[in-house]
Amino acid sequence: MRDDTQTETPTMLTKMSARGVEVHYGPKRALNGIDLDIGTGDVTALIGPSGCGKTTFLRCLNRMNDTIASARVSGSVTLDGDEIYGSQGLDPVLLRMRVGMVFQKPNPFPKSIYDNVAFGPRIHGLHQRKDELDHVVHMALERAGLWQEVKDRLDQQGTGLSGGQQQRLCIARAIAVAPEVILMDEPCSALDPIATAKVEELIDELRENFTIVIVTHSMQQAARVSQRTAFFHLGDVVEVGPTEQIFTAPAHRLTQGYITGRFG
Amino acid sequence: MSIGEQHIVKSYDEELRKLDDALARMGGLAESQLAAAIEALTNRDSALAQKVMNDDGKVDACEEFINEQTIRVLALRSPVADDLRTVICSLKVAGGLERVADHAANCAKRSLVVNQMQPVAPMRSLVRMGRLVTELLNEVLDAYLNRDAERALAVRDRDQEVDDLYSSLFREILTYMMEDPRTITVCSHLMFIAKNIERVGDHATNIAEMTYYLVTGKSLKDKRPKRDTSPFEGATE
Ligand SMILES: Nc1ncnc2c1ncn2[C@@H]1O[C@H](COP(=O)(O)OP(=O)(O)OP(=O)(O)O)[C@@H](O)[C@H]1O
Ligand SMILES: [Mg+2]
């Protein structure tokens, strides 16, 4: 099914690499053996119809599927060449610090806004001094485009924010620990166009230091923010290539049908 | 879930179809303008030539419609993939057809002068070249509207015939003028008419390349070498 004529760009440095990744939820197979490379410093967009396995794949990249009892993952995923699964695999807690995640549904902790953002740095013992931590929290909220709205109520509950604000809070929480890779699962689905533009600008900025994988249902967003795009369909990667190519001349009929809105 | 030929949003299909319809109409117009200009020359029909000049505005109106429609689709639909290529190619083909009609009008204008003078022999070759180009234009528009890349490439290959005819016509006219300087005025007009027709051939080639891109998503990298030798005519080694 996969189109082999346009796999990896030869010059691409690989940050993460998936080979033959299969995921089952109980008896149901959700991914059929995914081969996909994530380029260092790239924004890679994952697109595809609902239920095709984008979230499932994203969660494989930082072992989030470990937290789902029915989920079984096989195959290989590497980070900087190191295997993350198996007996020699990376420690999940450390892995998740290096590979952060912003979820499809905003999920702030039932804590204050400040503590939500400070949570990661604290558990990893990153910033001992209060003023250092204050600075990290401030910068993370600033970059996530939320600072102006919350600077006067940092001690209020994160769950008391609007949906879009909660999502930006979760972005701030994810970047506060300065991960190497950030996984974003439809980070803008609850955001208005201004907040969306801010997040996209943030993605552009983050790209200088981080590698980003983003799931999005907005074709325009995928086209705007990513350098590479992978099209998922029924648990397979049908096509992956430079974003520009995918959106001007996709090689596969299914990709074309999906991005042009011809799916029946 | 499966993919069909149609968009889920039906009005989108409708808008893209409108673009093709407008191009078909415009192509038909440009084609008949060119054919009429050649005919006006063949039959020394100045009334027809005048009509060609008057009708140029119709082609311009078509182009304007296509421009507006293209901007609309770009702004409202954010087309991608083959839809994007359709929109971009429509815009460019319409631009080419507008030029074709201009060349036809220019031929017609010059034929008004030519028709008042004694007929000269190179007219025959000129008309032959005119008919060939009309045929190629016709062929390439069909190829475009039927999304037929093969046929488009065949047209592109045949542009060489036009260039060869043009080069030999150029020599023929030069020789004719040298032999009888009284024909210089009429022959100069024929020279420009020939150039106009040759340019239409180039536009047909462009449309052929656009068709290839539209269908395959790939652009023709190897630019067709220009083999019209008239620029070197009269040069000494
Ligand atoms: N926790 C789970 N338990 C059982 N099945 C699951 C679970 N999570 C996902 N699935 C199934 O796995 C498949 C892939 O789901 P996934 O969430 O990865 O899709 P997706 O591409 O992210 O879709 P969407 O665009 O709607 O978010 C679906 O068929 C889904 O029903
Ligand atoms: Mg999902």
For chain B, say whether A71 makes contact (Cβ under 8 Å): no
Q: How far is CA B172 from CA A191, B113, B116, B166, in A?
A: 71, 20, 21, 10
Q: What is the reported pLDDT for A4?
A: 44
A261 part of contact set with chain B, CB < 8 Å: yes
Q: Is the pLDDT of residue A195 over 50?
A: yes
pLDDT score, position A137 = 96
pLDDT of A7 higher than 60: no
CA distance B198 to B192: 10
Residues 6+ apart with CB under 8 A from A106: A163, A166, A167, A169, A170, A190
> Is residue A25 pLDDT above 80, yes or no?
yes
Q: Is the dihedral of CA A66, A71, A72, A77 positive or negative?
A: negative
> Tokens 């000049």 correspond to what residue?
B53
CB contact under 8 A, A262 and B4: yes
Q: Supply the pTM of this predicted model.
A: 0.83
Distance from CA of A77 to the nearest CA of B (A): 29
Mutate to test the pocket of ligand 1, among A22, A23, A25 (most ligand atoms within 8 A of CB): A25
Looking only at the bridges linking them, the beta strands covering A236-242 and A71-79 are unpaired
Q: Would you place residue A74 in the very low, low, confident or very high pLDDT band (cuts 50, 70, 90)?
A: very high
Distance CA(A185)–CA(A60), nearest Å, equals 13
What is the pLDDT at residue B59? 96
What distance in angstroms lies between residue B65's CA and the mean position of ligand 2's atoms? 42
What residues have CB less than 8 Å from A184, skipping those under 6 apart? Answer: A101, A102, A171, A203, A212, A213, A214, A215
Whole-number pLDDT of residue A1 = 44
Does the pLDDT value for residue A104 go beyond 60? yes
Segments of chain B scoring below 50 in pLDDT = 237
pLDDT, tens only, A146-191: 999 999 999 999 999 988 899 899 999 999 999 999 999 999 987 8
pLDDT value at residue B228 = 64
Q: B2 vs A223: CB contact, 8 Å cut-off? A: no
What would the pLDDT profile of A28-59 be if each residue is shown by its tens digit? 999 999 999 999 999 999 999 999 999 999 99
For B119-124, which contacts have Cβ atoms below 8 Å and span 24 or more sequence positions? B119/B44, B120/B176, B120/B183, B120/B186, B120/B187, B120/B190, B121/B172, B121/B176, B122/B169, B122/B172, B122/B173, B122/B176, B122/B187, B122/B190, B123/B41, B123/B42, B123/B190
Q: What is the pLDDT of residue A125?
A: 83
Q: Which residues line ligand 1 (CB under 6 A)?
A: A 25, 28, 30, 48, 50-56, 68, 70, 104
Ligand with the closest atom to the CA of A34: 1
